[in-house]
Every structure is written in structure tokens, then in C-alpha cells.
Amino acid sequence: MSPDLVTATEAGDRVLRRRLIRALVRRLPRLIPGVAAALYLFTLALKLLSAAAPGVATLFERLSIDGPVNLVGFGWLAAYGALSGSPVAALSLSLLDGGAISASGSLAMLSGSRMGASLIVLVVGFIAYARGRGRPDGVYVGVVALLTTVIVYIPATVLALWLLGTGVLDGPSALVPTGWADLPGALARPVVRPLADHLPGVALFGLGVGALLGAFAIFDRMLPNLDPPPEGFEQLARRFRSPRAMFLFGCAVTSLTMSVSLSVTILVPLTLKGFVRRRDVIPYVMGANITTFLDTLFASLLLDAEAATPVVLAEMLSVTIVSLLVFVLVWRPFSDGILGVASRVSSHRGALLAFLAVFFVMPLALAVS
């Protein structure tokens, strides 16, 4: 690269950074009230769901949902219905806090929610395919995201359940400060207590789910608009060409958006435009699947439940370990296999329908097994 081009690129980066900083400063006066409202609504939702947990436990008993396998399927299907994994992940912690499910069940439901969240990427990809005059790139990205997530999460969930059973993370979890969460909890208590005294569990659960979805809707509106991705984002994505760089890029973008569905969906237009190569989608998704737990970790701290934080830490650590092992030991066959299946599915309508059928039947079978 010529010195003049390097200088121009560095100057462009400085201009982009200054624009981002100015945009953030301008948004701060509007962000602060929105963050406060979303935080209160989020805390209120978690407390309502915890209060509704006994009723949910009774429902689970009637439906014979009583083990990690069932709860993986339940969390998976619930994420399909919500088209997002974050609300379902927060729900799993609230049910744990209220005693409706065990720590291992909460972890299993959390894993299922993250596997189900990848479906929205495939939905967006299919819409882009339907509108893109036959270009299958969007479907391809969705298939890659779903396959990558499920293949990594299956062994990671087994490892996380083992880690949780050993109790090795109980000590580190106790070191995480949670006193700051007392204020939101105290503000929510005057609302939750009378509702819990006078409403049946089903009504409490419905209110909690509604408040939870409302809180995430407020958070989503406060996030920067990345659809379509801004020009600077496209230039940044083009620079990440190695698996390690794309892995870190996925971690960073998901830390910003707090949603793996949103951060991975961004890849659809970037892939269509050629800014991101198809092979680069896999490490990006693997990175996104780690930092997507930040909002769930935050929820565990708000609940101030001893068992909740180890659940999230066990899942984060296990997904990180499995992802690193894939990079070190089996990266080439892993990526080639996923890309081969994605190419087949995205280029044949019958294969796509069969793929979708499998990924709807699989969580259903787990939930009722």
C-alpha cells in the first residue's frame, strides 16, 4: 500500500472516530432518561417473573418439562417465538431465582435461547433473497449462523453443565459486586409486591413477559442504527480478513449492539455487497456468540441471586473454550463442512425447506422428550 493511501486511510479513520464521538455526545441527553426507563422496566420484569415462578413450575410439571434436555428445547422454541434470545435468557434466570427450575435447567434453557436466536438471521436472509432477484447470499449467511451456533453450543452446553456441577465458578461469582443493584430492586418492589399478592401466577407471568419485551424494545431504540450499515462500518468490515480478526470483530460489534441477532443480521447486507466474504461469517458468529451473554450477565446481577451468575459465567466460559478449540484443532474441516452445507441449502429450495424442517423438529423433539 502506498504511503499516500495509508495517510488517507488514517485520516479517514480519524474523521470517522470524531463523527462517532460527536454523535454519541449529542445523543447523551436523550440516552440517559431512556436508559433509566429501560433499566427500571427490565428490573420490574425480572422481579415479576420471579414472583410468577411457582405458577410456571406447576405448568412445567403438567407439561413434563423437568430436565435440561426438555428446557433446551423449550428455550429454543421460545426464542423462535420471540425472534430473540435475550428475553428468553433473562426469563430463564428469573425462573431460577423464583425456584421454578434448577441451575442446570436454567443453563439448558439459556443455551436453547441462544440457539433459537440465530433463526432471525435466516429469516432476514430469506427476505433479502426474496427481494434480491434470486441472490442466495442472505440465506447463506443465515444458514451459516444457525449451523455455527448449534454445532458450538451442543458441546459447550455439556461442558457448562459439568462446570456448574463442580461449583468451581461459585467463588469467582461471589466476587462480582451486586450492591449497586439494590436501588433498582427497591424501586420495583412496591409495584411487584401488591401485584404478586392479588394476581394469579399466569397474569404475573404475562405482565413480566410484556415488561421484559418492552424493556428490550427501549434498549433496541437507543442502539445505533446499523441497518443499513454506515459507510465507515463497511470499510471497517473489509479490513478484517483473517478468522481471528473476524472473531474479535464479532465480539466487539455484539458488545455494542447487545444482541447476537442484530449483530449477525448486519452481515447480510455486508455479504450481499461483497464487504464480508462468506468464509468470514463463521468466526464472526463465533465471537458474537460469546459477548451476547453480557446482557444476560447484567440480568443475573440485577436479580442478585447466588445461583444466577455462575450459570451465565459457566456458559460464557464453555462457549469460549469450545470456540478456541475449534480454531486450534479443527478449523479447516469445521468451516469447510459448514460452508458446504450452507452452499447446498441456499442454492436448492427443497434443501432449504428440509433444513428448516429439521431445525423446527429438533427443538420440539427435545422439549417433549
> Which set of grid coordinates corresponds to residue 81?
417465538
Predicted pLDDT of residue 1 = 47
Tens digit of each residue's pLDDT, the chain (369 residues): 454 444 444 554 555 556 656 655 666 566 667 667 777 887 888 888 888 888 777 777 777 777 899 999 999 998 888 777 888 888 898 888 888 889 999 999 999 999 988 887 787 667 766 665 445 777 888 899 899 999 999 999 999 999 999 988 877 666 665 555 566 667 778 888 888 888 887 788 888 888 888 877 776 676 555 555 555 555 555 566 678 888 988 888 888 776 776 777 777 666 666 667 778 889 999 999 998 888 888 888 877 667 888 999 999 999 999 999 999 999 999 999 999 999 898 888 888 889 989 999 999 999 888
Predicted pLDDT of residue 235 = 57
Contacts of 153 (CB under 8 A, 6+ apart): 111, 114, 115, 289, 319
With cell 443480521, the residue in question is 265
Predicted pLDDT of residue 250 = 85
Predicted pLDDT of residue 9 = 45
Predicted pLDDT of residue 268 = 66
pLDDT tens digit sequence for 159-210: 999 999 998 887 766 666 555 556 666 777 888 888 888 888 778 888 888 8
Domain ranges within the chain, ordered by starting residue: 28-368
Q: Among 188, 174, 171, which residue's Cα sits nearest to residue 305? A: 174
Predicted pLDDT of residue 161 = 95
| Cβ(96)–Cβ(305) below 8 Å | yes
Predicted pLDDT of residue 364 = 92
> Which set of grid coordinates corresponds to residue 337?
463442512
With cell 411487584, the residue in question is 192
Contacts of 188 (CB under 8 A, 6+ apart): 40, 43, 44, 47
